[in-house]
Amino acid sequence: MAVYTPPLRDMQFVLHELLDVSKELGAMAPHAEMDADTLNAVLEEAGKFASEVIFPLNISGDTQGCKLDTATHAVQTPDGFKAAYEQYVAGGWPSLSCDPAYGGQGLPFVVNQCLYEMLNSANQSWTMYPGLSHGAYECLHAHGTPEQQALYLPKLTSGEWTGTMCLTEPHCGTDLGLLRSKAEPQADGTYRISGQKIFISAGEHDLAANIVHLVLARLPDAPPGSKGISLFLVPKFHVKADGSLGERNGIYCGGLEHKMGIHANATCQMILDGAVGTLVGQPHKGLAAMFVMMNAARLGVGNQSLGLTEVAYQNALAYAKDRVQMRSLTGVKAPAQPADPILVHPDVRRMLLTAKAYAEGGRALACYASLLLDKELHHPDEQVRQESAQLLALLTPIVKAFLTDNGFDAAVQCQQVYGGHGFIKEWGMEQFVRDARINMIYDGTNTIQSLDLLGRKVLGNNGATLKLLGAQVESFVRANMADPRMAEFVRPLAELGQKLTQLTAEVGYKGLRNADEVGSAAVDYLRIAGHMVLGYFWARMARVALDKMAQAQAAAQRPDPFYLGKVQTARFYFARLMPETASLMRRIRSGSEVLMDTDAALS
């Protein structure tokens, strides 16, 4: 019974009216010809694929799951997945933002961002198969040898092959310095790799002819800890010099994880039994190379929850309009019916508006982050490239953690709109809740993202990058403070910016004396920073909408209800969601002692 309509109107609003991407991209030589009509046409076709091809497979794929043949180690994906992937490849979607030198279309990353939001809304489990390939592509594009790039990038670009990243081992997750997989050098320049990896998404499947695994392992002379990790390219099938496939390599799926959600994606226990691999990058420098893939994955995971937020909201809104129960507290609203639609009830609207605010605000943030990546790579001004890279590094943990926290919250709120029906599989809502839960965990738990933001990205450079972002916010506030229409948005935004600056200084000072102060503050700090960023974008969206409404009135035209909806959602965000920051600040200022001086409580 679930439904999904690609949010093309809102995407166009964000891309063209908020971010003015055509102008931004016009300054970059590779994208100078990208106009709004072309971009819109691409996204319209992408929306058709997402809603018509893979969305109908979402509930059935979750029900059927993946199957492992323990004799052959082959994994069968749910019915329809392979055919959908073949259609995806035939449509050229894997190559959308890839380098034309390897067969890519060279479109901006911001376009790929919108494609993947729709794919994640339609079917997160399916989308993870091609989605992980982008990280492998980026890693090899940045750190691969010319031989590796020539052999592997065209196939990853076309989608003929897919990719994975093999990091986690049974005894270590985030602390990769503990990993034990070994790589033995061979006379021909290759390496024999042995070990075991777990939680490898899309580690084995039947969608593509080959799977390109990027594997972390240790060389015999490796120093201990994270400084002794190297990165290796290990294909499922050996690749001959002409690009054709040879014999099966010594890497295989030893088991499938039985999970809470994403049942249709094969989460594999991978065994490396003398698998042949080639070194990517420099010896013992594997983490630096892998972080290219991990950062891409973190942005992608945020996008997964953004997609789920949108589809959960759409379904809950449709249900709330249709479901009748009780009468409105202020009188009958649907006299022709025995009860009023539940949309009339204040708390139902609170839950729906929460999801809407997080979806539309998250879309603005995710598109902005993707545009920063385009500018980092292609803008002709070196200073713009550097500032874009700094801002993207700062925003990456916020995109990953804030959007996934919000996505799970939104999915639960939307499930609640359904009442008991939200707990029943056929409506689809319980699957959105289960699928959204993993996004807060993998590719670095949200606590890890919070430590990265506060410890490395903020305190690590004395707040320099945070000030760079703050300057944008401050400039917007100054430009709009005198406009009475904007007062309800810019005043709380300005206040939060000032309070965050003061809080950052306090935490930094306390952290110099006791590092646990940073650890105890980090999660709440990221959420405060997330609200400041989302508040900034909601204020900007409100300004655009107010101007559009004023223009229509000046021309004696009826304003588009779309813009009034934007302003109303912005008001809700500032009145009902941003005030969370006050309690978060109070919790941070309570200090680390109430957490760490608890040995008796936790004995």
Instruction: Summarize pLDDT for 173-232 with one digit per residue, the tens.
Output: 677 777 899 999 999 999 999 999 999 999 999 999 999 999 999 999 999 988 899 999
Instruction: Domain ranges for the chain, please list them.
Output: 290-442, 454-596
What letter would DSSP give residue 70? T
Name the CA dihedral angle for 98, 102, 106, 111, rounded to a multiple of 10 degrees.
-20
By the 8 A CB rule, do 541 and 18 touch? yes
Burial class (CB in 10 A: 0-12, 13-18, 19+), 543: buried
pTM of the model: 0.97
Reported as a single tens digit per residue, the pLDDT across 233-271 is: 999 999 999 999 999 999 999 999 999 999 999 999 999
Mean pLDDT on 402-426: 97
By the 8 A CB rule, do 159 and 152 touch? no
Q: Over the chain, what is the mean pLDDT?
A: 96
By the 8 A CB rule, do 105 and 98 touch? yes
Q: Which CA distances in Å does 19 have to 36, 366, 390, 502, 514?
A: 12, 11, 19, 30, 41
Mean pLDDT on 491-496: 98
Structural domain 290-442, CATH architecture: Up-down Bundle (1.20)
Whether residue 511 is predicted with pLDDT greater than 80 in this model: the reply is yes
Percent of the chain with pLDDT over 90: 93
pLDDT of the residue at 226: 83
Q: Which residues contact 354 (CB under 8 A, 6 or more apart)?
A: 409, 410, 413, 576, 577
The C-alpha atoms of residue 358 and residue 366 are separated, in whole angstroms, by 11
What value, to the nearest 5°, has the Cα angle with vertex 168 and ends 74 and 93?
A: 60
Reported as a single tens digit per residue, the pLDDT across 84-134 is: 999 999 999 999 999 999 999 999 999 999 999 999 999 999 999 999 898
Give CA 473 to chain center in angstroms.
Answer: 23
Residue 135 pLDDT class (50, 70, 90 cuts): confident
Helix (H) or strand (E) holding 178: none
The C-alpha atoms of residue 144 and residue 152 are separated, in whole angstroms, by 9
Reported as a single tens digit per residue, the pLDDT across 154-169 is: 999 999 999 999 989 9
pLDDT of the residue at 292: 75
Residue 493 one-letter amino acid? L
Taking residue 350's Cβ as centre, other Cβ atoms within 10 Å add up to: 13
The C-alpha atoms of residue 115 and residue 379 are separated, in whole angstroms, by 23
Q: Which residues contact 356 (CB under 8 A, 6 or more apart)?
A: 313, 317, 569
Taking residue 424's Cβ as centre, other Cβ atoms within 10 Å add up to: 12
What value, to the nearest 5°, has the Cα angle with vertex 146 and ends 141 and 151?
A: 80
